[in-house]
Structure 1
Amino acid sequence: MNRSVLSRIGALTAAAVTVAVLVPATASAAASSVVWGPCPEDVAAPGVQCTTLKVPLDYRNPGGPAIDVAVSKLASTEPAKRRGIMLTNPGGPGGPGLTMPNGLRAAGMPSSVLDAYDIIGFDPRGIGRSTPVTCDLEPEQLVSNVPPYARDAAAVAKRATDVAGVAKQCGESKTAANLPYMTTANTARDMDRIREALGEKKLSYYGVSYGSYLGAVYSTLFPQRTDRVVLDSVTGPGGLDPATSRRLAEGFQDRFPDFAKWAAARHASYGLGRTPQQVTAKFYELAAKLDGGTVPGVDGAAFRMGTFGALYSTRSFPTLAQQWQALDGEGVVKQTEQTAQVDIGNVLSGQLHVVCNDVNWPENVATYQRNVEKDRVKYPMFGAAGANIWACAFWPSEPIEPQVRIGDRGPSNILLVQNLRDPATPLSGAKEMRRALGDRTRMVSVDDGGHGVWLGSENACGNNAVNRFFVEGKRPAHDTACAADKGGLFDSMTPRQRQDREKALDEVRSKQRVF
C-alpha cells in the first residue's frame, strides 16, 4: 500500500444564559423569499429541501460579482414547538454541508431538537454545489493537507518545494479570480445572508471541528443575531493557524493512550502488546521499520498519518489494529471503504483557500525546520508532522482583511463541548477559545476520547448538556466536567437505526478532513 492511500485512510477515517427573543414561526415564514425545491440525488432525504442563494463574492463590493451558496433545510414538523433556524457546519474547512441536516437526524438528534428548529445545511462558499474553487490537483496530490512527518531539515525543504507548486497551481487555476475571497469571515457573512433570506431575526448554530471556529467568528461579527450557539470539538481562537497545526501533535499524544489500552486488552486478537506500554513501543518500532524502507510502498510518514486519522473515532480502532498487524508481518494493508461521496480535490483546494487566506503564515522555510526539530522532541509521535510546512507559506495572495479577533462582547449564549482527549482539536485549544469568549460562554468537558461530542460520543452528560441548551436554553452556571460514561445512550435504537447512525457519523468525519 502506498503513502497516498494510507494518508487518505487517515484523512477519511479520519466536526450562563440570556434568554433570546423568540422568533415566531409564522412571522419568519411570511418574511422568507426563498423558494425551496427537491435536493440533488446524493443529498435527497425524506423531508429535506434545497435552494441556492446569491451572495457577494466580495462583501466590500456588495454590488459586484455574485456567487452561489447551496442551502438545504430539514423543517420542523411541529409549528407550536418551533423556535427558529439552526445553521450547521461539519468542519474541515472544506467540508460540504448540504447533507448535514439529515446526517444529524440519522446520528440520533433528539426529536425535541428536531421539533424546535428548521435544521439548515449549506455548502460553504467555494465548496461542492456552491460556486466551487479548484487548485487543479493531480491524483498524486489528493492527500491530506496535514503535512507528512519530516525526518530532518531536508525533508522539510522537499515538502516546501512540493507545496510551493500546489500554491502556484491554486493561483493559476481557472477559479483564481475568486481565490482571495474564500475566508472564514466571508463564510460567516454568507451565513447571515442565509438568515436574512429565511426571514429570521436570529439564528442558532451547531458547528463541529473547524465549524467551531466559524461559529465563533459569526458570533463575533454578528453578536446580536445569535440565538443559541454550540461549538463542538473546539479550535483555538485563531482557527487553523500555524499554532493549531502544531497542536495536532499534542492531540495525537493525548488520544493515543486510548488506542494503546484498547489494543492491549485485545492482544490475543492482534498481537500488538499485552500492555499499553508495549503497544506504544510497537508504534515506535513500526515507525522506525517503515522509515527504514523495509516494507515496499509504505513509509513512516504514511504510517503516522494513518494512525492519526484513525484516532478520530474509537470505531476505527479495529481497522487500525488490523493495519498495524499487517505491517508488522509485512502483509498487505487493505484500503478502507470510502463512505462519503465527496470531490476530494475540491475539498482539499477549498480548505487551502480558507486556511491560507485567513492567516498570514510564515514564509521562511527555516522557521518550519526549527519548529519541526522542537516538536519532534516535545511530541515524538506526530510533532514533526504538525510543525511541517503548508502551502500557505507560498500563497499567491495576501489576506484581504485582518483576521477576526474572537472576543467577549455580546450576549452570553454560547456553549462549548469538548472531549478531554481529542486528537485534532485538543483541550488546550478549547481552553484558549474559552478564555477569548469570556462570559459569553460556558464549557462542558467530557472524559472521553475522539473527535466530536454531541451525537458522536455516547457520553450522556455531554449530549444532554447540548440537548438541554438547544431546547430549553439552559446552560451550566459554571464550566462543567462530565465523568466517563458509556451508559448506552443510543441503546434504544434498532440495529438499522444504529447502522444508519454509524454511517452518518462516518460521513461527517470524512468531511472534516483535518479536524
Structure 2
Amino acid sequence: MSGATLASAVLTGTATVQAAPGPGPGARAQPPALSWTPCHQPGQECAYLTVPVDYREPHGPTMRLAVSRILSTSPGERRGTLMAVPGGPGGSGVKRLTDKGPALRAQLGGAYDLVALDPRGVGGSSKAACGLDAKDLRVDKLRSWPGADGDISENAARSRRIAEACARNGGDAVRSLSSLNQARDLDRFRAALGEEKVSFWSTSYGAYVTAIYAQRFGHRTDRVVLDSSGDPDHRRVARGWLANGGPAVELRFADFAAWAADPARGPGLRLAERPEEVRSLVIALAERLDRVPKTRTDTEGIALDGAILRNTLLRMLSSDSEFPALAGLIRDARDPKAVVAIPGDVKQPLSDQDAAVWVGVICNDVNWPGPGAGYPRAVAEDRARYPLTGGLPANITPCAFWKNADREKTVRITGEGPSNILMIQARRDPATPHFGAVRMRQALGDRARMVTVERGGHGVYLGVGNPCGDAVVTAFLKTGERPEGDISCGG
C-alpha cells in the first residue's frame, strides 16, 4: 500500500453517494460539464466529476470525484492533455499534481494541460467506508505482518473481522472500488474535458490502471508513460504483487546494506563493516523485536516491534534519500538506552475511508485463495526464503474472506492496441520489481518500449534523479519519439 498520507491537499469535500436524475435506461449517460474554480494552490483549478457508482447502471446512483488541472501557459505550444495517475490503491491524483506540477511544467513547457483526479473513495472524492475498528487501522496492523516465529492467528482473525465489516457496512460504494472502474472514471474525465485523446504519466499502481485504460480505451490514448509497473497477470493482480515483495526487497536491500557499511557514513549511521553484516543484524533485530518489543519510544501506547521495523524498511527502501532515517531507526532500536521515534505513518492510523479503498480495490479485482489454502505453511516457507519481509508476501489478507458476487472479470493486458507506450523502470525497485515490469512489457508486446534505469528506487521519472531516463520520457511526451527498442540508462 503506497501513500500512507492519502488526504487531498487541495480538495477536502466529502461528497456522498447520491441518486442521479436523468434519462431512461436506453439513453447514453454523458458526463456533465466541469465547473472549474481556483484551488488553494496558485495556478491550479479544481472541480468535481460525476461518475456512476456502477457503470452497468449508468443512470443509477452516482459519486463525485475531485479533479484538478494546471492549464498550459503557452497556447501556441500546447499539443494536448496529460493525466497524472497516482499510485496506491489510495493515492491522490490531485495531491500528486500539486506536488509534481512545477517539475512537469519545467520539463514539458507548455506542451500540455496537466490534469488529475482523486480516485473514488480518496481525498476530496466521494467516500466509501467499512466501519473498521480503530485497532485495525494502523498501517502495521492492516498489513498482515506475522507475529513471533511466523504465527498468523492474529492476522487471520483481523482479516476476517475486516472483511466482515466491509460486507456489513460498505454497500455499493465499497463494492464499486476496482481498478477497472478507476480506468472507466479516467475515460469519463477525458470526455468531460472534451478531449478525443489524452496522454498519461502513471506511476506504480497507477501504471496498472493506465494499462487497463490502454487495453479498454486504446483509441483514446495519445502518449502513455508507465512508470514503475507491476506484473499484470490477470489471474493474480495484487496477490502477485504481494508475492513478489520478498525477492524485490532482497534485491533493493543490497543498496542500503552497501550504504550502511560504507566507511564514509557519518557518526551513528554506519551499522557494520560489511554489507552482509548489515543484513544479518537487521534480520536478527526484527526477530528479537517480534518476541520483545522495545517500549522506550516517543509515542505513548506504541512499542517498536518487528512489524513496525519491517514496515518502515519497506517504505524507506523506495528512495535513497530515506537511508539516513532508516539507519538511525535501526541504530536506536539496537541501543537499550535510546528512545526510538515511531515513524509517522504508524503514529497516524489510516482513516476508515482510506483503509476501505486499499482493501476494497485489491479484494474486488480478483478472487484470492480462501482461509483454508495453506497460509501457515506458505508463510513459513516465505520467511525462510526471504527473511527481510518476515512472511508478509505469503500471508493471509482480508481478501481470503471477501465476498462480492458482483465482481467483474479482470482485464487481461495484451499486445492489441496502439504502439504508443513507453515504460520506465528502476533495476532494483522494492515495490514494483523489475522482473514484474518485464512481464508487463512482454504482455504489451510491440505496443511498448522499456527504459531500465540501472539503480534502485521507486517512481523513476522526475523521482530518482536520473538524467538519461528523464530525458527519454520528456522527449517522448514532447515529440512522440521512442527508442527503437528497449534501452538501459546508467544509474
TM-score between both structures, scaled by the size of structure 1: 0.83
Q: Distance in 1 between matches of 2:107 and 2:339?
A: 47
- Equivalences for residues 219-238 of structure 1 within 5 A: 219-238=214-233
Residue 104 of structure 2 corresponds to which residue in structure 1?
109
Q: Distance in 2 between matches of 1:376 and 1:96?
A: 33
Residue 294 of structure 2 corresponds to which residue in structure 1?
295
> What is the Cα deviation at residue 383 of structure 1?
5.2
Output the amino acid matched with 1:387.
Answer: A
| Contact 2:269 2:324 (8 Å CA) reproduced | no
Residue 334 of structure 2 corresponds to which residue in structure 1?
328
> What is the Cα deviation at residue 336 of structure 1?
4.4
Q: Distance in 2 between matches of 1:361 and 1:336?
A: 31
Residue 482 of structure 2 corresponds to which residue in structure 1?
475
Please point out which of 310, 319, 323 is paired with 1:317. 323
Q: Distance in 2 between matches of 1:187 and 1:468?
A: 28
Q: Distance in 1 between matches of 2:4 and 2:315?
A: 5
Output the amino acid matched with 2:181.
Answer: N
**Given the alignment of the two structures, is residue 308 of structure 1 paired with residue 310 of structure 2, yes or no?**
no
> What is the Cα deviation at residue 332 of structure 1?
1.4
Are the structure 2 counterparts of residues 471 and 92 from structure 1 closer, same or farther at C-alpha, using a change threshold of 3 Å? same
| Contact 2:4 2:350 (8 Å CA) reproduced | no
> What is the Cα deviation at residue 267 of structure 1?
6.8
Residue 502 of structure 1 corresponds to which residue in structure 2?
none
> What is the Cα deviation at residue 56 of structure 1?
1.1
- Equivalences for residues 11-22 of structure 1 within 5 A: none
> What is the Cα deviation at residue 371 of structure 1?
2.0
Q: Distance in 1 between matches of 2:372 and 2:432?
A: 25
Are the structure 2 counterparts of residues 371 and 336 from structure 1 closer, same or farther at C-alpha, using a change threshold of 3 Å? closer
- Equivalences for residues 429-440 of structure 1 within 5 A: 429-440=436-447
Please point out which of 88, 92, 108 is paired with 1:92. 88
Please point out which of 349, 370, 386 is paired with 2:356. 349
Are the structure 2 counterparts of residues 416 and 356 from structure 1 closer, same or farther at C-alpha, using a change threshold of 3 Å? same
Output the amino acid matched with 2:362.
Answer: V
**Given the alignment of the two structures, is residue 123 of structure 1 paired with residue 118 of structure 2, yes or no?**
yes
> What is the Cα deviation at residue 114 of structure 1?
4.3
Q: Distance in 1 between matches of 2:154 and 2:288?
A: 22
> What is the Cα deviation at residue 74 of structure 1?
0.7
| Contact 2:46 2:66 (8 Å CA) reproduced | yes
Output the amino acid matched with 2:319.
Answer: S
Are the structure 2 counterparts of residues 306 and 292 from structure 1 closer, same or farther at C-alpha, using a change threshold of 3 Å? same
Q: Distance in 1 between matches of 2:260 and 2:245?
A: 22
Residue 402 of structure 1 corresponds to which residue in structure 2?
409
Please point out which of 247, 252, 257 is paired with 1:260. 257
Q: Distance in 1 between matches of 2:45 and 2:423?
A: 29
Output the amino acid matched with 1:281.
Answer: S
Are the structure 2 counterparts of residues 399 and 469 from structure 1 closer, same or farther at C-alpha, using a change threshold of 3 Å? farther
Residue 78 of structure 2 corresponds to which residue in structure 1?
82
Output the amino acid matched with 2:428.
Answer: R
| Contact 1:150 1:388 (8 Å CA) reproduced | no
Residue 424 of structure 1 corresponds to which residue in structure 2?
431
**Given the alignment of the two structures, is residue 243 of structure 1 paired with residue 231 of structure 2, yes or no?**
no
Output the amino acid matched with 1:302.
Answer: I
TM-score between both structures, scaled by the size of structure 2: 0.87
Q: Distance in 2 between matches of 1:338 and 1:156?
A: 23
Are the structure 2 counterparts of residues 290 and 413 from structure 1 closer, same or farther at C-alpha, using a change threshold of 3 Å? same
- Equivalences for residues 352-431 of structure 1 within 5 A: 352-382=359-389, 384-431=391-438
| Contact 2:85 2:202 (8 Å CA) reproduced | yes
> What is the Cα deviation at residue 349 of structure 1?
1.3
Output the amino acid matched with 1:38.
Answer: P
> What is the Cα deviation at residue 289 of structure 1?
2.0
Are the structure 2 counterparts of residues 336 and 287 from structure 1 closer, same or farther at C-alpha, using a change threshold of 3 Å? closer
Q: Distance in 2 between matches of 1:86 and 1:400?
A: 30
The count of corresponding residues between Structure 1 and Structure 2 is 453
> What is the Cα deviation at residue 334 of structure 1?
1.0
Determine which structure has greater relative contact order: mean sequence separation of CA pairs < 8 Å that are 6+ residues apart, divided by chain length.
Answer: 1
Aligned-pair identity in percent equals 40
Output the amino acid matched with 1:270.
Answer: L
> What is the Cα deviation at residue 288 of structure 1?
2.7
| Contact 1:57 1:67 (8 Å CA) reproduced | yes
**Given the alignment of the two structures, is residue 68 of structure 1 paired with residue 64 of structure 2, yes or no?**
yes
Q: Distance in 2 between matches of 1:138 and 1:149?
A: 20
**Given the alignment of the two structures, is residue 147 of structure 1 paired with residue 144 of structure 2, yes or no?**
yes
**CA-to-aligned-CA distance 1:268-298 (integer Å, 9 cap, x gap):** 4335101112211211221232133163332
Are the structure 2 counterparts of residues 11 and 99 from structure 1 closer, same or farther at C-alpha, using a change threshold of 3 Å? closer
Are the structure 2 counterparts of residues 353 and 114 from structure 1 closer, same or farther at C-alpha, using a change threshold of 3 Å? farther
SS in 2 for 1:377: helix
| Contact 1:133 1:179 (8 Å CA) reproduced | yes
> What is the Cα deviation at residue 370 of structure 1?
2.7
Are the structure 2 counterparts of residues 250 and 404 from structure 1 closer, same or farther at C-alpha, using a change threshold of 3 Å? same
Residue 278 of structure 2 corresponds to which residue in structure 1?
279
Q: Which runs of no fewer than 5 residues in structure 2 stay unpaired?
A: 7-30, 296-302
**CA-to-aligned-CA distance 1:434-491 (integer Å, 9 cap, x gap):** 111111101101111111100111111111111111111111110011111xxxxxxx
Are the structure 2 counterparts of residues 291 and 168 from structure 1 closer, same or farther at C-alpha, using a change threshold of 3 Å? same
Q: Distance in 2 between matches of 1:114 and 1:195?
A: 21
Output the amino acid matched with 1:321.
Answer: A
Q: Distance in 2 between matches of 1:473 and 1:345?
A: 42
**CA-to-aligned-CA distance 1:304-343 (integer Å, 9 cap, x gap):** 222111111111111111111111102211134569x996
Output the amino acid matched with 1:317.
Answer: F
| Contact 2:84 2:200 (8 Å CA) reproduced | yes
SS in 2 for 1:98: helix
**CA-to-aligned-CA distance 1:117-141 (integer Å, 9 cap, x gap):** 1111111012222111112233322
Are the structure 2 counterparts of residues 274 and 254 from structure 1 closer, same or farther at C-alpha, using a change threshold of 3 Å? same
- Root-mean-square deviation (CA, aligned residues, Å) is 2.5
**Given the alignment of the two structures, is residue 36 of structure 1 paired with residue 36 of structure 2, yes or no?**
yes
Residue 23 of structure 1 corresponds to which residue in structure 2?
none
Q: Which runs of no fewer than 5 residues in structure 1 stay unpaired?
A: 1-6, 14-30, 485-515
Are the structure 2 counterparts of residues 11 and 303 from structure 1 closer, same or farther at C-alpha, using a change threshold of 3 Å? farther
Are the structure 2 counterparts of residues 343 and 325 from structure 1 closer, same or farther at C-alpha, using a change threshold of 3 Å? closer
Q: Distance in 2 between matches of 1:272 and 1:377?
A: 24
> What is the Cα deviation at residue 98 of structure 1?
1.2
Output the amino acid matched with 2:34.
Answer: V
**CA-to-aligned-CA distance 1:237-276 (integer Å, 9 cap, x gap):** 0474212111111211011011111111127433510111
**CA-to-aligned-CA distance 1:48-102 (integer Å, 9 cap, x gap):** 0011111111111111111111110011111111111111122111112112222
**Given the alignment of the two structures, is residue 179 of structure 1 paired with residue 152 of structure 2, yes or no?**
no
Residue 469 of structure 2 corresponds to which residue in structure 1?
462
